Amino acid sequence: METIWIVIGVLLPLLLGWAFSMLGLTTPDFKNARVLCRASFLILAAWTLVWVFLTPADLTRRICVVVAVGLANAIGLPPMHGVHR
């Protein structure tokens, strides 16, 4: 499980860095950046759910992790409205 967290810890910053580098570019690149951001947030959310079901941690710690990841995704996820598709 630790190995997967290391992979996720390396993969997510790479995806987010790649996405943030394209934010100021033209419309197709901006759309690609949104896709990369969404992919990184989905990977984090999916692995968090896997961790919740497989970890021997107590219930309080599981709830705190799920709430923290949920807040990070809700705050950081690019909005789907207001941008021309």
pLDDT tens-digit map of 35-73: 777 788 888 888 888 888 888 888 898 888 888 888 877
pLDDT at 75 exceeding the cut of 60: yes
Return the axis-axis angle of helices 27-54 and 59-76, rounded to nearest 10°: 170
User: CA dist 35 to 4, 22, 48, 59, Å?
Assistant: 22, 11, 20, 33
Domain of residue 36: give its range.
Answer: 2-76
What pLDDT was estimated at residue 24?
67
Residue 82 forms part of a structural domain: no
Question: Which residue has tokens 């996720």?
Answer: 8
Number of domains in the chain: 1
Q: What is the mean pLDDT of residues 7-30?
A: 75
83: in domain: no
Q: Does 17 fall in a domain?
A: yes
Residue 35 covered by a domain: yes
| pLDDT score for 82 | 47
CB atoms within 10 A of CB 82: 6
What is the 8-class DSSP label of residue 78?
Answer: P
User: Considering the domain boundaries, does residue 8 fall inside one?
Assistant: yes
CA distances from 23 to 28, 30, 52, 72, 80 (A): 10, 5, 33, 19, 15
In 1-85, which ranges are continuous DSSP H helix? 2-22, 27-54, 59-76
Task: Give a yes or no: residue 57 inside a domain.
Answer: yes
71 in any annotated domain: yes
Assess whether pLDDT exceeds 80 at residue 25: no
Q: Is residue 67 part of a domain?
A: yes
